[in-house]
Amino acid sequence: MNVLYGIGFVVACLIALLMTPLVKRFAFWVGAVDAPNHRKVHSRIMPRLGGLAIFIAFVGAYFVVSPAIDLVQKDVAVGLLIGGSIIVLLGALDDRFDLSPKIKLLGQIIAACVVVYSGVVIELVNVPFGDTIISLTWLSVPLTIFWIVGVTNAINLIDGLDGLSAGVSGIATTTILVLALMMGNVTVVLLSIILLGSIVGFLFYNFHPAKIFMGDSGSLFLGFSLATLSILGFKQSIVLSLLVPIMILGVPISDTLFAILRRWVNKVPISKPDKSHLHHCLLQLGFSHRLTVLIIYAIASIFGVSAVLLSYMSEQEVIWGMVLLIVVLIAILVLGAEAIGIISQTKKPVLRFLQKVRALVSARSRMTK
């Protein structure tokens, strides 16, 4: 079995390596290119549609390896492939014609419905700090669709630097793969390892300085796949049913939440794009393009390792581990967000409060002396 997994990874990686140059030529031929503007970091016209290479590698590797593995849930895998096809087509059309947000949202919902129809649904959640398990009943389908669409767009939002979205997705995929191996979930292991191979092969051309962008065809597909795999991988683990997937996808989810909060604080439409995402803020602090990406990789890895550590704990330990991790991660996120100005350059209540506390402590210390 392990040999087949290895073959799947290698096949996906090789297909991505071979297909990406061809997709690059195709993108220029059809005019699917990304021109520089005031929001973009790149300074020259770049081909999009790199997601096509990732998707072709993923599908090709699946059909090469899956016939030899009997335990794969074929209906679920087919649901992901069909839904992914819709997402990639939608993203490719957007890469070329810049579709309206409403059309993109409708396409994402349709793709999510395909996955739900195949049997991938969030059915149960547990109440933290107790043994109560809640059956979502009629809420299962809308919650699943909301999760898939939300994560799909979260990955799309962080696609702002060479190799950023692909690398963060690769780290999240690796985390899901490790946890699936621990749980013995054959379907998730296979789908994760060929997705990882597709990402690695594409990153050869996408890491800074990039030769091609993945475009919406790639970022939407990766987000869609990660959202689906996160549900499929943990729907049977009640205690970890929602916490672990949220932690695995901590970087894109937190960046999306900060974007929503930032636009609300600054009283601008939530859908209005800006240049204040995490990677933009790090660049403004003086970090190089490559170092900024590596810093975000490190943050994503911390989230991934935390998710793995949490899964090792017993149910009782999970409660306290969850409390500690949530407190620490929230503290780091809030302080880091205010320090780099990801929400607002002027409104930093937590840092100002800490500065006042520090000043008060210093004053009292001088008085005692």
pLDDT in tens, 307-343: 887 776 655 555 566 667 667 767 776 777 667 766 6
Instruction: Tell me the average pLDDT across 19-48.
Output: 83
Q: Which residues contact residue 364 at a Cβ distance below 8 angstroms, ignoring those fewer than 6 apart?
A: none
- Please tell me the predicted confidence (pLDDT) of residue 240: 47
| Least confident interval from 60-74, 111-125, 252-266, 291-305 | 252-266
pLDDT of 131: 55
Closest to 77 measured CA to CA, from 185, 200, 199: 185
Nearest 5°: phi and psi at 239?
-60, -35
> Do the Cβ atoms of 220 and 156 come closer than 8 Å?
yes
* Greatest mean pLDDT among 3-7, 83-87, 122-126, 133-137: 83-87
State which amino acid sits at residue 178: V
Beta bridge partners of 180: none
Residues in contact with 58: Cβ distance below 8 Å, sequence separation at least 6, in sequence order: 12, 84, 194, 195, 198, 225
What 8-state DSSP symbol labels residue 273?
Answer: -
Query: Into how many domains does the chain fold?
Result: 1
Give the separation between CA 171 and CA 164, rounded to whole angstroms. 11
pLDDT tops 90 at residue 168: yes
Torsion of CA 120, 218, 56, 300, to 10 degrees: -70
User: Residue 218: which residues within 8 A CB-CB, separation 6 or more?
Assistant: 50, 51, 52, 54, 55, 91, 159, 165, 166, 202
pTM: 0.85
How far is the C-alpha of 298 from the C-alpha of 214, rounded, in Å?
A: 21
**For residue 265, what are the contacts with CB-CB under 8 A and spacing of at least 6?**
343, 344, 347
Please state which of the ranges 15-24, 37-46, 141-150, 334-343 shows the lowest mean pLDDT. 37-46
Q: Evaluate if residue 192 carries a pLDDT over 60.
A: yes
pLDDT interval class at 203 (50, 70, 90): very high
Better pLDDT: 355 or 168: 168
Mean of the per-residue pLDDT values for the chain?
83
First to last CA, the chain: 70
Instruction: Report the SS3 class of residue 227.
Output: helix
To the nearest 10 degrees (0 to 180), the angle between helices 186-206 and 164-183 is 160
Q: Which of 190, 181, 170 is nearest to 7 (CA)?
A: 190
**Rounded CA separation 98/100 (Å):** 7
Question: Which pLDDT belongs to residue 236?
Answer: 47
Can you give the residue range of the structural domain that contains 187?
A: 2-368
Predicted confidence (pLDDT) per residue in 80-131, tens digit: 999 999 999 999 999 999 899 899 999 999 999 999 999 888 876 655 555 5
CB 227 within 8 A of CB 208: no
Residue 303 tokens, joined: 């989230």
**Per-residue confidence at 135, pLDDT binned at 50, 70, 90?**
low
Q: Is the pLDDT of residue 78 over 60?
A: yes
